[in-house]
Amino acid sequence: MIASCTEKRGSLLAKERDVIGQYRIARIIHNGNSNQVWEAIKQPEGTHVALKTLKPKYAEDKVEIGFMKNEAEAGKALQHPNIIKVLEFGTDKNTPFVAMELFSEITLKKAIRKGPDSVAYMLPKIIQKACEGLFAMHSQGYLHCDVKPENFLVNRDGDVKVIDFSLAQKIKTGLAKLFGGKPKAVAGTMSYMSPEQIKAGALDPRSDVYSFGCVLFELACGKPPYTGTSPTDLLNKHISAAIPSPVVGNDNVTQEFANVLKVMMAKKPGDRYENIWEAFKVLKATKIFKRPPRIPETSIFDAPAGTGEQE
């Protein structure tokens, strides 16, 4: 009888943990350093969503909670088919969470890990949809500030959603642009940060253009444009090292495409395309590969359920 009561108590506790707010946890999608992303079912509607939660270790971390609140605030303000839809921010059982639209589980980073050929055959469409999402974000008053392969979800049709607005900033205009105020602390992902972001300088859409250039380099070559022996070395390369050519990393890449990336990744913002749409117009007219990429015999989108990622 005692064993039976213990089993029931354990079962009840498991059920309590399986429900956060209005959402019943179905399965894990992504396990990050400070957070996890789950497929969950909103009750009573039965709608499937992606639920990002902070791990217990970070549940009271003010910085991490601040990132999550910022993601929710920016995400709810953004509306576009190529931007993930954020539904709400909340806290339940001492667990902060953000609920959002459920889309493909595969990030561009996961695709790259399987080799550039995994998505090379639909790269033009991926570029278009990613640019549309970023341009919509800029047009609606926000910079992403963490453009990297992990923050683009892609499905088997080449549709893309921009995700993760933890570091997003409102674009400064008018007097705020002139005087700026106190600069924000340096934050971002080192392999993709623009020189001005590293220096905690004033940011505008051209900073995201630089980062997206780094993403395109990695999509073409399978590795980021810069690596370093230390974090400082890596950041210094973004600031002062020569811009590498993707032709060296992939001999099927055209020189024309390399030239576009060189402009996108220019050290000075004034030497880059004015915005992501100007970059896209040039990319659209540029041949990326000398030889058309083949469609892989085994698709990365056919992986078993639960092995994907969503941040």
What is the per-residue pLDDT for 303? 63
Whether 176 shows a pLDDT value over 60: the answer reads no
**Confidence at 5, pLDDT banded by 50, 70, 90:** very low
% pLDDT > 90, the chain: 83
What is the per-residue pLDDT for 173? 79
What is the per-residue pLDDT for 2? 37
Whether 4 shows a pLDDT value over 90: the answer reads no
**Confidence at 311, pLDDT banded by 50, 70, 90:** very low
Instruction: List, in order of start, the domains of the chain with CATH numbers.
Output: 20-101 (3.30.200.20), 108-301 (1.10.510.10)
% pLDDT > 70, the chain: 87
Q: For residue range 220-279, what is the model confidence (pLDDT) as tens digits?
A: 999 999 999 999 999 999 999 999 999 999 999 999 999 999 999 999 999 999 999 999
| DSSP one-letter string for the chain | -HHHHHHHHHHHHHHHHTEETTEEEEEEEEE-SSEEEEEEEETTTTEEEEEEEE-GGGTT-HHHHHHHHHHHHHHHH---TTBPPEEEEEEETTEEEEEEE---S-BHHHHHHT-THHHHTTHHHHHHHHHHHHHHHHHTTEE-S--SGGGEEE-TT--EEE---TT-EEPP-HHHHHH--SPPPP-S-TTT--HHHHTT----HHHHHHHHHHHHHHHHHSS-S---SSHHHHHHHHHHSPPPPHHHH-TTB-HHHHHHHHHHT-SSGGGS-SSHHHHHHHHHTS--BSSPPPPPSS-GGGSPTT-----
**Confidence at 304, pLDDT banded by 50, 70, 90:** low
**Confidence at 183, pLDDT banded by 50, 70, 90:** low
What is the per-residue pLDDT for 10? 35
Q: For residue range 39-95, what is the model confidence (pLDDT) as tens digits?
A: 999 999 999 999 999 999 999 999 999 999 999 999 999 999 999 999 999 999 999
Q: For residue range 14-45, what is the model confidence (pLDDT) as tens digits?
A: 344 589 999 999 999 999 899 999 999 999 99
